[in-house]
């Protein structure tokens, strides 16, 4: 029986400037299945789904929904055809109630003008019991937990009659019980006949929930398989494009590490950071990173990793504790003073924090060290150029034009600019946050090599990554963050995906060393 | 690009976009906007029952066509250059300074005070310097207040600068009316020192026009602003804050300090504009002389695309429209020029980004 697929996308092309996010990508999803769309960060999954949802138009290719050619349609058309996208970042009005958020744009009205609040609440409650997405309609969004907010997001698209649900990394922000609830809801929706596309890069989730899998790599669709006919190892190989080796060639012990060395690395004592809702997002964390050591931090996103790095970098204020670099207390110092004390920082948000996109590559290569490139307040343009030429050559930044705006570079080359800058100056402690996110495979290996070289030179490196294999491959010790604390700190020899996974989802709790 | 990435060693280059590309991008969008505005002007003139060609000819003859008219354009452009530079300087740091009018007035007032205090016979260069420092300081203080309130309490600079316009102008009015005016007028006595030579003193054909040496000062200030923005570390920091405050903060730049500096300097630049009227034209401070110049400065900055030299050109353009309104008054109402100014601003705000987008996508297509 040849059924009409719910979604059929073929030969999809989409470029952003020099970056080709999709090159001939395809996707076929049958009605009533839970389909996992997997791939590394930057593989083009989200771009593909944006074109399905009408947020972007493909440069080439064909999109069909239930057999109808809908290529290049608008968001409005996509919604009325039953496509519902649940975004990774919630799009809810925090000052309105659950019911008000759900009816936004299609409010039931009495006498044509007044919002019929009771009917809205009743409608929401009805849908809520039907689907098992339990939530009180009168609660304010700002009072909800992350998991509850996500339930509202799913309810919102169902409320608008969605029959094809696309969930973009839905579990990145969820705790394990919340994840289990989400699976139950998705299964119920599937049994009702809805079609679900799950974007993820977590293999355990794929195996647990999906019935079919599409794997994307570097903008292309590399495989479409039945979940029952594959293994996590095979999916991993398809995602990365080669055998995943979890041990990059490191284990080069820095020579001559003695107690008399002036560098003492990074030391953090009893650090606490308050979040926006008055909860401790970092809760009394203590650790140290020695010179010549990489401490990796693993964990489900949203467990305090971002806040920890920002607090260490001086971009977020701390409520208690001390931060020391080479024995100097920098807890109260400005960002610039921390640079002077020997701190380097590769931030996770490349486009907003790490680069000034309108500035040239040369000017971006001095951000944070600009004071060393000026004389009496006037920029020394020769030295800026020299510095750029050196960085472009040694980090192989392409295209090798120092006067190009950073915006014009691909993600991988933008990241090389950041890495070249942060590792090209004198430092003793490096904070590397998601250093290879959205970066192509070649650049990933290059950046990893740079981190290992710095380690061999006796730098203390704190590595935060959502990619477990990255943490496993590079770190000497691995800490797992769970709800603002270190659930455990293990030597990497004792760590494996399974062991870390249990700490990450909180089923296993250890004593933080 | 993609072919070269297969090659081995890449040699670093410093190739800015070709000059033709840059010139096209700088010139074509504003010219298209101007064309749109001219077509709107045509329709307006036609609706008034006049011939557009005749009216435009008269406009040109009354402004660039004779020495007096041209002198008046130069004079008006000078004040607009100062306020336009002030607005663009703030915008480069991401701040919207709507207070140009009160900063200009405060600067003019301070210049007049110095001119009154300094003895007769003070050397011109010295008197000019003292008056300019005073004018800049007065404008700078008016600019520093919203900067302080923003960085300390988070008050939005647009609200504060607008409110300060009322406060400062009212205070100046009260002071002039109450203490310093020549009877029956709302202006101060004439200054003793710092009177700038007029263009008419150099070339008698400019006789009667108000153009004066403040014009040279405006060009010098524009050059200084350009140097600061694009050649100094302060300018690097300032533009970084304006483009991406989060990245600037990450780069160790104190965003608050930059904001403080940017609005204070912005106010100081507007304040220095006061010398054009006070030292160059009337030789006294008069209540209301700054009226409208601050707001027109916003348009000048917008059309000049926040580049100091673009601002100078835009100042000339708006000065021409303003003086041209007087020249064509006999045929169509002067208010028509006000309408046309508005149309130009809207055309620039809408057409420029659109035309640039079209240019770029056309170029990309021809590259592919």
Instruction: List, for residues A141-196, the tens digit of each pLDDT value.
Output: 888 877 788 889 888 888 888 999 999 888 776 766 778 888 998 999 999 899 99
Q: Following DSSP, what letter does each residue of A234-274 receive, concatenated?
A: HHHHHHHSS---S--S---PPTT--TT-S---EEEEEEEEE
Query: What does the pLDDT average to over B344-361?
Result: 81
The per-residue pLDDT for A245 is 44
**Is it the case that residue B84 has pLDDT exceeding 80?**
yes
Residue B53 lies in a domain: no
CATH number of the domain bearing residue B141: 1.10.3470
Which residues of chain B make contact with A374, given a CB cutoff of 8 A? Answer: 232-233, 236
Q: Give Cα A254 distance to the centre of its chain.
A: 32
Residues in chain B closer than 8 A to A396 (CB atoms): 10
CA-based nearest residue in chain A for residue B250? A353
**A405, closest residue in chain B (CA to CA):** B16
What's the average model confidence in pLDDT over A480-493? Answer: 90
- Examine the domain organization and report whether A331 and A278 are in the same domain: yes
Residues A179 and A279 in one domain: no
Distances (CA, A) of A118 to A105, A125, A370: 17, 10, 59
Residues A24, A154: one domain? yes
Which SS3 state, helix, strand or coil, does residue A287 take? strand
Shortest CA distance to A44 belongs to which of A224, A235, A239, A218? A218
- B37-41 contact pairs (CB < 8 A, 24+): B37/B340, B37/B343, B37/B344, B37/B347, B40/B340, B40/B343, B40/B347, B41/B336, B41/B340, B41/B343
Residue A372 has pLDDT above 50, yes or no: yes
In a domain, B141, yes or no: yes
Instruction: Check CB contact of A463 with chain B, cutoff 8 Å.
Output: no
pLDDT at A88 > cutoff 70:
yes
Identify which of A349, A313, A353, A350 has the alpha carbon closest to the alpha carbon of residue A334.
A313
Domain of B174 in residue numbering reads as: 67-355
Instruction: Answer yes or no: do B1 and A345 touch at CB < 8 A.
Output: no
Domain assignment of residue A512, yes or no: no
A358 contacts chain B (CB < 8 A): yes
**Is residue A513 a part of any domain in this protein?**
no
Is A246 within the bounds of a domain? no
State the pLDDT confidence band at B21, using cuts at 50, 70 and 90: confident
Task: Give the minimum alpha-carbon distance from A346 to chain B in angstroms, rounded to a whole number.
Answer: 10
A275 and A224 together in one domain:
no
Which residue range forms the structural domain that includes residue A280? 266-504
Q: Is residue B31 part of a domain?
A: no
A207 and A276: one domain? no
B16 and A354 in contact by Cβ < 8 A? no
Give yes or no for residue A233 having a pLDDT over 80: no
CATH code of the domain containing A491: 3.40.50.300
Label residue A465 left, alpha or beta by phi (over 0 means left) and psi (-120 to 50 means alpha).
Answer: beta
Average pLDDT, chain A: 86
Q: Give the length of chain B.
A: 368
CB-based contact A353 B246, cutoff 8 Å = yes
Residue A217 sits in the same domain as residue A345: no
Residues B121-145: tens digit of each pLDDT: 899 999 999 999 999 999 999 999 9
Distance between CA atoms of residues A47 and A51, nearest Å: 6
Q: Please report whether residue A259 resides in a domain.
A: no
Within 8 A by CB and 6+ apart from B193, the residues are: B114, B115, B118, B119, B120, B121, B122, B127
pLDDT tens-place string over residues A237-273: 787 776 544 344 444 444 444 444 567 899 999 999 9
The single residue listed with the structure tokens 């000497």 is: A476
Of B15, B234, B236, the CB nearest to A403: B15
pLDDT reported for residue A45: 87
Q: What is the pLDDT of residues B167-214, one digit of tens each?
A: 999 999 999 998 888 888 889 999 989 899 998 888 888 888 999 999
Query: CA of A19: which chain B residue's CA is closest?
Result: B2
pLDDT of res. A254: 44
| Mean pLDDT value across residues A386-413 | 89
Give the tens place of pLDDT for each residue, A71-80: 989 888 998 8
Residue B260 lies in a domain: yes
Q: Is residue A173 domain-shared with residue A209, that is, in the same domain?
A: yes
pLDDT of A236 > 80? The answer is no
Q: What is the pLDDT of residue A260?
A: 44
Residue B207: inside a domain: yes
As for how many domains chain B has, the answer is: 1
Residue B30, CA atoms < 13 Å, CB-side half-sphere: 17
Instruction: Note whether A374 contacts B252, CB cutoff 8 Å.
Output: no
Whether residue B270 lies inside any domain: the answer is: yes
**Looking at this predicted complex, what is its ipTM?**
0.88
Whole-number pLDDT of residue A280: 84
Nearest residue, CB atoms, A401 vs list B13, B234, B244: B13
Residue A364 is assigned to a structural domain of this protein: yes
Distance from CA of A69 to the nearest CA of B (A): 27
pLDDT, average across residues B257-283 = 97
Query: From chain B, which residues contact A within 8 Å (Cβ)?
Result: 1-2, 4-5, 9-16, 231-234, 236-237, 239-240, 243-244, 246-254
* B243 closest CB neighbour out of A358, A377, A381: A358
Do A276 and A154 lie in one domain? The reply is no
C-beta of residue B105 within 8 angstroms of C-beta of residue B168: yes
Query: What does residue A245 show for φ and ψ, rounded to 5 degrees?
Result: -95, 120
Say if the Cβ atoms of B252 and A353 lie within 8 Å.
no
A37-46, A61-70, B223-232: least confidently modelled range:
A37-46
**Per DSSP, what are the bridge partners of residue B232?**
A378
Classify residue A250: in a domain, yes or no.
no
Instruction: Lowest mean pLDDT of A168-172, A373-377, A428-432, name the range.
Output: A168-172
The candidate with the shortest Cα–Cα distance to A263, out of A458, A397, A121, is A458
Among A462, A147, A420, A448, which residue's Cα sits nearest to residue A290?
Answer: A462
Contact (CB<8Å) A354/B250 = yes
Contact in structure between A232 and A71 (CB atoms under 8 Å)? no
Residues A231 and A279 in one domain: no
Determine the residue of chain A that is closest to B251 in CA distance: A368
Segment among A18-27, A97-106, A392-401, B1-10 with least mean pLDDT: B1-10
Share of chain A above pLDDT 90, in %: 48
Q: How many domains does chain A have?
A: 2
Which of A176-180, A285-289, B37-41, B283-287 is predicted with the least confidence, judged by mean pLDDT? Answer: A176-180
Together in a domain, A224 and A337: no
Model pTM? 0.78
pLDDT at A297: 96
- Using CA coordinates, name the residue in chain A closest to B5: A398
Nearest to A370 among B13, B15, B236 (CB): B236
pLDDT score at A127: 87
- For residues A281 and A329, membership in a common domain is answered with yes
The residue ranking higher by pLDDT, B168 or A510, is B168
């Amino acid at each position: 029986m040849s059924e009409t697929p719910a979604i059929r996308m073929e030969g999809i092309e989409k470029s952003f400037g020099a970056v080709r996010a999709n090159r001939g990508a395809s996707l076929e999803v049958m009605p009533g299945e839970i389909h996992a769309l997997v791939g590394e960060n930057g593989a083009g999954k989200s771009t593909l789904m944006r074109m399905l949802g009408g947020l972007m138009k493909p440069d080439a290719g064909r999109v069909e929904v239930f057999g109808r050619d809908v290529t290049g349609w608008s968001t409005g058309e996509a919604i009325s055809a039953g496509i519902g996208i649940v975004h990774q970042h919630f799009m809810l009005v925090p000052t309105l109630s659950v019911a008000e958020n759900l009816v936004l744009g299609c409010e039931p009205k009495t006498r044509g003008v007044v919002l019929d609040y009771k009917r809205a609440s009743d409608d929401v409650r009805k849908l809520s019991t039907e689907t098992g997405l339990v939530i009180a309609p009168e609660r304010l969004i700002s009072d909800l937990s992350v998991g509850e907010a996500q339930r509202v997001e799913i309810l919102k698209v169902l409320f608008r009659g969605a029959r094809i649900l696309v969930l973009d990394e839905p579990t990145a922000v969820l705790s394990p019980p919340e994840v289990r609830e989400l699976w139950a809801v998705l299964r119920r929706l599937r049994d009702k006949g809805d079609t679900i596309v799950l974007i993820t890069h977590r293999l355990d989730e794929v195996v647990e929930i999906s019935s079919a899998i599409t794997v994307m790599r570097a903008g292309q669709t590399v495989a479409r398989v039945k979940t029952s006919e594959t293994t996590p190892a095979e999916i991993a190989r398809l995602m990365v494009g080669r055998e995943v080796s979890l041990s990059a060639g490191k284990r080069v012990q820095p020579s001559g590490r003695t107690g008399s060395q002036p560098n003492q690395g990074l030391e953090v004592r009893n650090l606490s950071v308050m979040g926006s809702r008055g909860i401790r997002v970092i809760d009394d964390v203590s650790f140290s990173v020695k010179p010549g050591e990489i401490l990796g931090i693993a964990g489900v996103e949203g467990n305090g990793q971002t806040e920890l790095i920002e607090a260490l970098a001086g971009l977020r204020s701390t409520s208690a504790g001390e931060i020391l670099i080479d024995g100097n207390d920098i807890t109260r110092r400005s960002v610039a003073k921390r640079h002077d004390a020997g701190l380097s920082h590769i931030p996770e948000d490349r486009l907003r924090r790490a680069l000034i996109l309108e500035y040239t590559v040369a000017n971006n290569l001095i951000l944070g060290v600009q004071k060393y490139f000026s004389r009496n307040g006037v920029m020394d343009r020769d030295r800026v150029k020299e510095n750029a030429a050196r960085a472009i050559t040694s980090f192989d930044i392409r295209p090798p034009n120092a006067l190009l705006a950073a915006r014009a570079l691909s993600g991988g080359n933008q990241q090389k600019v950041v890495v070249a800058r942060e590792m090209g100056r004198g430092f003793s402690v490096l904070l590397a946050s998601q250093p290879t996110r959205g970066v192509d495979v070649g650049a990933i290996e290059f950046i990893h090599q740079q981190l290992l070289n710095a380690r061999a030179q006796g730098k203390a490196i704190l590595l935060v990554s959502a990619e477990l294999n990255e943490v496993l491959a590079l770190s000497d010790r691995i800490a797992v963050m769970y709800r603002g604390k270190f659930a455990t700190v293990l030597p990497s020899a004792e760590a494996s995906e399974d062991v870390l996974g249990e700490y990450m989802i909180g089923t296993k709790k250890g004593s933080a060393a | 690009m993609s072919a070269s990435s297969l090659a081995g060693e890449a040699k670093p280059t410093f190739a800015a976009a070709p000059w033709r590309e840059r010139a096209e991008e700088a010139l074509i969008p504003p010219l298209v906007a101007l064309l749109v505005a001219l077509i709107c002007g045509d329709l307006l003139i036609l609706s008034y029952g006049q011939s557009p060609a005749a009216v435009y000819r008269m406009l040109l003859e009354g402004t660039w066509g004779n020495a007096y008219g041209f002198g008046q354009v130069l004079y008006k452009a000078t004040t607009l250059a100062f306020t336009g530079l002030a607005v663009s300087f703030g915008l480069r740091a991401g701040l919207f300074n709507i207070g140009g009018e009160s900063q200009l007035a405060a600067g003019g007032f301070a210049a007049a005070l110095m001119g009154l205090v300094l003895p007769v016979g003070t050397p011109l260069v010295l008197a000019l310097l003292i008056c300019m420092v005073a004018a800049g300081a007065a404008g700078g203080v008016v600019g520093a207040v919203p900067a302080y309130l923003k960085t300390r309490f988070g008050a939005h600079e647009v609200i504060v600068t607008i409110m300060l316009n009322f406060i400062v102008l009212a205070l100046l009015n009260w002071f002039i009316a109450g203490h310093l005016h020549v009877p029956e007028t709302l202006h101060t006595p004439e200054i003793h020192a710092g009177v700038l030579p007029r263009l008419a003193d150099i070339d008698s054909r400019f006789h009667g026009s108000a153009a004066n040496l403040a014009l040279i000062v405006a060009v010098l200030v524009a050059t200084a602003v350009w140097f600061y923005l694009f050649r100094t570390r302060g300018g690097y920091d300032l533009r970084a804050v304006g483009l991406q405050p989060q990245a600037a903060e990450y780069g160790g730049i104190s965003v608050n300090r930059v904001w403080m500096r940017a609005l204070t300097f912005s106010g100081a630049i507007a304040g220095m504009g006061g010398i054009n009227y006070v030292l160059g034209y009337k030789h006294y401070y008069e209540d209301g002389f700054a009226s409208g110049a601050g707001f027109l400065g916003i348009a000048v900055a917008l059309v000049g695309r926040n580049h100091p030299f673009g601002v100078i050109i835009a100042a000339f353009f708006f000065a021409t429209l303003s003086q041209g309104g007087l020249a064509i008054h006999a045929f169509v109402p002067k208010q028509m020029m006000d309408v046309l100014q508005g149309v130009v601003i809207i055309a620039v705000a809408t057409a420029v980004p659109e035309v640039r987008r079209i240019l770029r996508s056309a170029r990309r297509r021809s590259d592919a």
